Structure 1
Amino acid sequence: MTTAEYENHLQILREELVCALGCTEPIAVALAASLAAAALGELPQRLEVRCSGNIIKNVKSVTVPNSGGLRGIEAAATLGAVGGRPDAALEVLQSVRPEHIGKVVSLLGQEGFCNVELAEDVPNLYVRVVAHASGHDGVACIEERHTNVCELTRDGVATTVAGISACPSPASAAADAGSAADRSAISLASVWEFARELDLADVDELISRQIELNQTISNEGLTGRWGANIGSTLLASRPNDISCKARASAAAGSDARMSGCPLPVMICCGSGNQGITCSQPVLEYAHELWAGHEELVRAVVLSDLTAVHVKYFIGELSAFCGAVSASCGAGAGICYLRGGSFAQYEATIVNTLANVGGIVCDGAKPSCAAKICAAVDAAILGCDMALADDNFLAGDGLVGKNAEETIRSMGYVGRVGMHPTDVEILNIMIGKTDVSGS
């Protein structure tokens, strides 16, 4: 691996592993609103919010953190405008205080304060907020990635807020918007080589932080009452089974996060649920196998980068559940800890995709935890199969002649084939399609 290739893998990790408070879609809305309000320079008298269908889908049913239990785009945008810190990126709502929540409730009670519209013919991840007051407008637009600010103006003139200025991104949905790394340049072979040969000092602090944050919210999900309590319910059924513990640990983090737990997580692939899924099952297996710290770090690096590689071909948001991509990573890390070879690592990914590829995403909500359970279970089975050399073969559905071809096939299905499904899911969720049969 050349120095440039090594640095590219490191840069991908630095860009992907970002601390976030709450589900990243409502947080992106809150961040855009906070930036728009800051550009305006005063408390908005009115907000206009335009979002892609995938943003609407992923904000509709999830609790906004530090909101007192509020849900929805109007709540996220108003809270961001009133109490958000625009320079805090995906932790924009960490600064919210009780008086901010009271103000938000009051504003939401005013008819017409926050108007939300569906934006069409835009990237899958798109939020544009216009904040109005005193005859002036502040505008902020985020697209492609959750922190990629492509427009930031006051009265139509480009401006800077807390050191942040707009960085217009390419129109291509596959572009690494706002990124210095080239995700198209990595492969399963390069990820395997990087994870095995990296200098631990280059990633130790970052990966240790991922493990620490995600373990904390997982423990909260297991001990508290959050969402549908998938993690704690699962663990109670078989508390000493490692497969069960791995699934429960990941699900519990999602239980808490989807229901507004105000604990930060380390995201991966733009998602806290995916960041948790990449780290927690691997951590449980490391404990079970008495793996040392260095082996754990290498396994989590393998998990994170594998998930990034699989997700790259699907896109940031789609109808393809991101837990599947993350579970491929978790299966990869578990395979590494169990002594698997490169061929068995590849087979683990193929076996996982052949099983649960195509789980639909119908928005961020408590049932995400159950989908994580199913996906991680498939990854563990995929690893068991690979280590026994019992694998799905080319021609079995979308399984290609090798792992890379299988990843691309599944990516095409998620990005292109499932696009009409994505539209219909949104139409049902917003009441545009009547499925009552009457």
Structure 2
Amino acid sequence: MQKTSVKYRTYVQILAEELVPAMGCTEPIAIAYGAAKARETLGRLPERVLVQVSGNIIKNAKSVVVPNTGGRKGIEAAAAAGIVAGKAGRELEVIAQMEERDRLDIDAFLREHPVQVEGLEGGLTFDVRVTLWAGEDQVKLRIANYHTNIVYLEKNGEVLHRLPVDGEEENGLADRSLLNVWDIYDFAETVDLADVQEVIGRQITYNMAISQEGLTGNYGANIGKVLRNTYGSEDVVIRAKAAAAAGSDARMGGCELPVVINSGSGNQGITASVPVIVFAEEWGASREKLTRALVLSNLVTIHQKSRIGRLSAYCGAVSAGAGAGAGIAYLDGGSYQDIIHTVVNALAVVSGIICDGAKASCAAKIAAAVDAGILGYHMYQEGQQFYGGDGILSKGVEATLENVGRLGKVGMSGTDREILKIMLKEKA
């Protein structure tokens, strides 16, 4: 791909926009970010707090530990952390720098000023609204469509910031419609490493660090350690699955280490990167080869997710597992044909996994998705594949990705509503 082309520049920009650091599950962290920005605008601690969120935000914030809150879970903890100690300028690392005193202040704030939470009916999939009151002062803030996209900010009736909201469109980001698997492969083969080494290098460092923490600490259901202890660590496939799952174990369990995310998700960022890194270490791949493999894996994941949407009843680990499979195939010298058949085969196996929110079981779903990605590659190596017309598959990788996007965005919208009803019933 020519470095001067529009696609080349767009692909570099997409990686820069998507592969950003975040500490904690990104939906509660988006709430913390919005609350921190609203409190900054208010200029003092509020006396009353209202957080209104769409159903998918409730789903992904309900059961996950918010870092630096002493093990607290949920929307109330995220909002309080952002208000009391958040640094809005750090965006998705908004509550990364906190001390024990801050945790005590969060506890005190929640005792004295309970956070009111309301669900938003209909409307956008990704919608966060924060209203703060202090005396005669009032601040209103809205985040829509992606985690740091503040589209509205008002203080005492004066509009300070407003961006148009055109349905689910992610205005202000690079054009994802320019993504396709052939061009992603070409870009990975030809990209000037200087243009991507910072974002990819940070992903390697951050995501392997939290993976190691998950393998040595005690988080969630410890899926990474269960895999390693049950099946041993001799087989690189088991190590890759365990390492990816362990990163999610730690992240869902409130680990205070950052993750480089993909498509707005730390779990997807871990899944798209850690298995590829483990295989690169096993095979002695050069840093250049690993970097190119991660460019491929990440962009294949983003390409899939751009059709599904950032939040859905379709588990994002499935997309990232297929992306990881593609990256592993590339590391092994796989051709474009190897890569596209790896992706299609993987999606044929695990596209039915639902997203029922961020929590400990995400790590097990990641292990299954990574396994499907690796299986998809080995199938094609053995001359085996699934064909167009088999279930949701169509002839050609792009046609299959279109089908999966339709399934995740449109077909599973009713599933999404039922999942939320079940989750809220259990909470009650």
Bin for the TM-score computed over the shorter chain = over 0.9
**Alpha-carbon separation, structure 2, partners of 1:420 and 1:366:** 24
Instruction: Give the equivalent residue in structure 2 for 1:137.
Output: 138
Instruction: Give the equivalent residue in structure 1 for 2:45.
Output: 43
Instruction: Give the equivalent residue in structure 1 for 2:406.
Output: 412
- For residue 224 of structure 2, the aligned residue among 228, 231, 243 is 231
Instruction: Give the equivalent residue in structure 2 for 1:66.
Output: 68
Instruction: Give the equivalent residue in structure 1 for 2:167.
Output: 172
- Residue 423 in structure 1 maps to residue 425 in structure 2: no
- Residue 217 in structure 1 maps to residue 210 in structure 2: yes
**Alpha-carbon separation, structure 1, partners of 2:287 and 2:178:** 29
| Cα shift at 1:288 | 1.2
**Alpha-carbon separation, structure 2, partners of 1:343 and 1:169:** 41
**Alpha-carbon separation, structure 2, partners of 1:357 and 1:55:** 22
Instruction: Give the equivalent residue in structure 1 for 2:396.
Output: 402
Q: Which amino acid aligns with 1:172?
A: G
| Cα shift at 1:76 | 0.5
SS at structure 2 position matched to 1:234: helix
Instruction: Give the equivalent residue in structure 1 for 2:268.
Output: 274
**Alpha-carbon separation, structure 1, partners of 2:107 and 2:365:** 32
Q: Which amino acid aligns with 2:93?
A: E
- Residue 331 in structure 1 maps to residue 325 in structure 2: yes
Q: Which amino acid aligns with 1:429?
A: M
**How is 1:149-164 mapped onto 2 (pairs within 5 angstroms)?**
149-159=150-160
Instruction: Give the equivalent residue in structure 2 for 1:381.
Output: 375
| Cα shift at 1:186 | 1.1
**Alpha-carbon separation, structure 2, partners of 1:206 and 1:28:** 21
- Residue 304 in structure 1 maps to residue 298 in structure 2: yes
CA contact (8 A) 1:43 1:133 kept: yes
SS at structure 2 position matched to 1:89: helix
Distance 1:167 1:408, change over 3 A: farther
Aligned residues: 425
- Residue 253 in structure 1 maps to residue 247 in structure 2: yes
Distance 1:433 1:201, change over 3 A: closer
Q: Which amino acid aligns with 1:291?
A: A
CA contact (8 A) 1:83 1:97 kept: no
**Alpha-carbon separation, structure 2, partners of 1:319 and 1:391:** 27
RMSD: 1.4
- Residue 124 in structure 1 maps to residue 128 in structure 2: no
- Residue 207 in structure 1 maps to residue 192 in structure 2: no
**Alpha-carbon separation, structure 2, partners of 1:359 and 1:167:** 37
**Alpha-carbon separation, structure 2, partners of 1:349 and 1:303:** 10
**Alpha-carbon separation, structure 2, partners of 1:349 and 1:167:** 40
Q: Which amino acid aligns with 1:318?
A: S
TM-score by length of 1: 0.95
Distance 1:350 1:256, change over 3 A: same
| Cα shift at 1:122 | 2.4
SS at structure 1 position matched to 2:425: coil
Instruction: Give the equivalent residue in structure 2 for 1:163.
Output: none
**How is 1:10-159 mapped onto 2 (pairs within 5 angstroms)?**
10-110=12-112, 113-159=114-160
| Cα shift at 1:432 | 8.2
SS at structure 2 position matched to 1:109: helix
Provide, for residues 274-313 of structure 1, a one-character-per-residue CA deviation record: whole Å limited to 9, x for no partner.
Answer: 1111110000111111110000000000000000001111
Instruction: Give the equivalent residue in structure 2 for 1:354.
Output: 348
| Cα shift at 1:167 | 5.3
Provide, for residues 260-284 of structure 1, a one-character-per-residue CA deviation record: whole Å limited to 9, x for no partner.
Answer: 0000110011001111111100001
| Cα shift at 1:225 | 0.8
**Alpha-carbon separation, structure 2, partners of 1:172 and 1:327:** 29
Instruction: Give the equivalent residue in structure 1 for 2:236.
Output: 242
**Alpha-carbon separation, structure 2, partners of 1:193 and 1:18:** 23
Deviates more, 1:150-159 or 1:356-365: 150-159
| Cα shift at 1:47 | 0.5
Instruction: Give the equivalent residue in structure 1 for 2:256.
Output: 262
Instruction: Give the equivalent residue in structure 2 for 1:285.
Output: 279
CA contact (8 A) 1:148 1:167 kept: no
**Alpha-carbon separation, structure 2, partners of 1:80 and 1:215:** 27
Instruction: Give the equivalent residue in structure 2 for 1:162.
Output: none
SS at structure 2 position matched to 1:190: helix
**Alpha-carbon separation, structure 2, partners of 1:189 and 1:265:** 28
| Cα shift at 1:169 | 4.2
| Cα shift at 1:98 | 1.9
- For residue 316 of structure 1, the aligned residue among 288, 307, 310 is 310
- Unpaired runs of 5+ residues, structure 1, are 160-165
CA contact (8 A) 2:20 2:199 kept: no
SS at structure 2 position matched to 1:177: coil
Deviates more, 1:200-209 or 1:186-195: 200-209
| Cα shift at 1:113 | 2.7
CA contact (8 A) 2:144 2:150 kept: yes
Instruction: Give the equivalent residue in structure 1 for 2:177.
Output: 184
CA contact (8 A) 1:345 1:386 kept: no
| Cα shift at 1:374 | 0.5
